[in-house]
Structure 1
Amino acid sequence: MTTLIIDDEAPARTIVRQYLADFPQLEILGECADGLSAVEQIQARQPAVIFLDIQMPGLTGFEVLARLPVVPRVVFSTAYDQFALSAFEAGAVDYLLKPYDRARFALTVGRVLNHAAQPDAALQRLLQRLETSRAAQPAAPTPATYPPRLFVPQGPRLVAVPVDTIRWVEAAGDYATLHTTAGQHLSNLGISALQERLDPQRFLRIHRSVLVALDAVRELERDGSGGFYATLEGGRVVRVSRSHADSLRPLLG
């Protein structure tokens, strides 16, 4: 498992490097001393886990995560205890409060290795963290609150899918498949949860198992029973159930 050490204090980076020497399972790719270089190195080297300080020049640890299209496992390492709740809300594997000893560090590494085998719960927490603002959201969402991208699991990582590229969404049991201009992605959110995250001015539920982007609809044909067949860009035909037909009638002119 590869790792980067990110901290603006050289002694702190040295301690992490020394403690990691006890764990040959973790390969150190390098070190970063500020938030901007951290973003660059994480994107270039794609480590499996990062040891991340919070208060750094350029960008904070939280701002580093917000700029990443793919988010690795995160262990926060900081001298400030007031960020612990926000760190775990962000899906952190652990929160190391400086100063810490080898025993506490070993506990953290154990959690990292265990997390590698069972990533789903933490991925879900991180999905929720990255797709919403840290500020409280209003009860009735406004267009500004809808995220411009969704994060989907890809192995142990999360990959950003721009909402503008989504053409339609299909239920897949408790999950959903995002059909995009670049391919397909399996989301670990169900279609109803995804519907809440997508702007209803741009996406419509046309069937209990299908959600479409309005600008992807190329043709509508009545099915003779009160519903429609919708032809999407690319030629895909999906059925609009009678219970959802009213939502598409405005498109008929």
Structure 2
Amino acid sequence: MTALIIDDEAPARLIVRQYLADFPQLTVLADCADGLTALAAIREHRPEVVFLDIQMPGLTGFEVLAQLTEVPRVIFSTAYQQYALDAFAAGAVDYLLKPYDRARFRQAVGRVLSQPAAPDAALERLLQRLDEASAPAAYPSRLFVPQGGRLVAVPVADIQFVEAAGDYATLHTAGGQFFSSLGLGQLEQRLDPQRFLRIHRSVLVALDAVCDLERDGSGGYHATLAGGRVVRVSRGYADAVRPLLG
């Protein structure tokens, strides 16, 4: 696994390097001393895990994560207990409260190495919360989803419809499909109801993507979306769609 060490204190970066000698399977790609450099390094190197200080000049660790579209696994470190506890509760892989010893470090790294290749769903929730907090509106502009062992940001404006997939959901865009670890009901609560409408017990559609509505003869409709995809509006949800007909 590849890693970045991000901390504004040189002694702290040195300690991480020394302790990582116990983990030859982790290769350190670079050290960073501030948030702006860290952001550029993560984008350039795309590490699998980062050791990330929270309080840094330029950007905090949280602000670094909020600006990424692909997010690696994270071990936070901080000298301030309240930040550490907030990070852990929000869903970081683990956190290190300074000063920490070699045993605590080994515990945190061991947890990272024991995780499956897919990103921790808790980290996905953390990134979503960060994005919502930074957005000027009450609803997020992006949804973070797992893809190829990383987390990627899907712009909400690109979503044409959301389809239930068991307890999870699939986001359909013009550019492809993305699996979300959130269920349809959870996504319905997160997305702006002025832009997204439930048209079926298993489908949520973006109103801006609807190009045409045609009655299906049984009290429902067929909705044609941009790009030609057709989704069904079931009879039970037809009343919500009728105002769109003018």
Q: TM-score range by the shorter chain?
A: over 0.9
User: Which residue of the partner structure matches residue 233 of structure 1?
Assistant: 226
Q: CA deviation at 1:210?
A: 1.1
Give the Cα separation in 2 of the matches to 1:227 and 1:70: 40
Partner of 1:192: 185
One-letter code aligned to 2:179: L
Name 2:145's counterpart in structure 1: 152
Corresponding position of 2:30: 30
> What is the distance in 1 between the residues matched to 2:119 and 2:180?
14
Q: Name the CA distance, whole Å, in 2 between partners of 1:123 and 1:79.
A: 21
The equivalent of 1:174 in structure 2 is 167
2:204 is aligned, of 186, 198, 211, to 211
The one of 182, 194, 214 aligned to 1:221: 214
1:1-253 alignment to 2 at 5 Å?
1-116=1-116, 119-133=119-133, 144-253=137-246
C-alpha contact (below 8 Å) 1:5/1:30 kept by paired residues: yes
The runs of 5 or more residues in structure 1 that have no matched partner are 135-142
1:96-143 deviations in Å (ceiling 9; x for gaps): 122222222111111111124675443454355335339xxxxxxxx9
The answer as to whether partners of 1:150 and 1:160 remain within 8 angstroms in 2 is yes
The amino acid of 1:48's aligned partner reads E
The residue type equivalent to 1:170 in the other structure is E
**SS at 1:30's partner residue?**
strand
How far apart in 2 are the matches of 1:36 and 1:118? 27
> Compared with structure 1, are the counterparts of its residues 101 and 118 closer, same or farther at alpha carbon in structure 2 (3 Å cutoff)?
same
> How many residue pairs get matched?
245
Structure 1 residues 46 and 118, CA gap change in structure 2 (3 angstroms): closer
Unaligned runs of 5+ in 2: none
- Quote the offset at 1:224 in angstroms: 1.6
The runs of at least 4 aligned residues of structure 1 exceeding 6 Å deviation read: none
For the residues of structure 2 that align with 1:66 and 1:84, how far apart are their CA atoms? 17
Assess if the C-alpha contact under 8 Å between 1:89 and 1:129 holds in 2: no
Letter of the aligned partner of 1:151 in structure 2?
A: F
For the 8 Å contact 1:123–1:153, the answer to whether it is kept is no
1:125 and 1:185 map into 2 onto residues whose CA distance is 16
Q: Matched residues in 2 for 1:229 and 1:42: separation?
A: 44
Task: Report the Cα distance in structure 1 between the residues aligned to 2:121 and 2:36, rounded to whole angstroms.
Answer: 29
Contact 2:4 2:29 in 1 (8 A): yes
* Kept after mapping to 2: 8 A contact 1:2/1:29: yes
Report the residue type matching 1:80 in the other structure: Y
Q: Cα offset for 1:85?
A: 2.2
Displacement of 1:90: 3.3
Please say which of residues 239-248 and 113-122 is displaced more in the overlay. Answer: 113-122
Aligned amino acid, residue 92 of structure 1: A
Identity %, equivalent residues: 75
Report the CA distance between 1:249 and its aligned residue: 0.9
Letter in 1 for 2:206: A
- Tell me by how many angstroms 1:81 deviates: 1.2
Shift of 1:155: 3.3
* Secondary structure of residue in 2 paired with 1:3: strand
**SS in structure 2 at match of 1:248:** helix
Q: Residues 73 and 86 (structure 1 numbering): CA distance in 2 closer, same or farther, change over 3 Å?
A: same
**CA displacement, residues 160-179 of structure 1 (integer Å, 9 cap, x when unaligned):** 00000001111111111111
Pairwise CA RMSD: 1.8
* SS class of match (1:177): strand
- 1:163 and 1:231 map into 2 onto residues whose CA distance is 19
Residues 178 and 121 (structure 1), Cα distance of their counterparts in 2 relative to 1, 3 Å cut: closer
Q: 1:123 to 1:9 in 2, by over 3 A?
A: closer
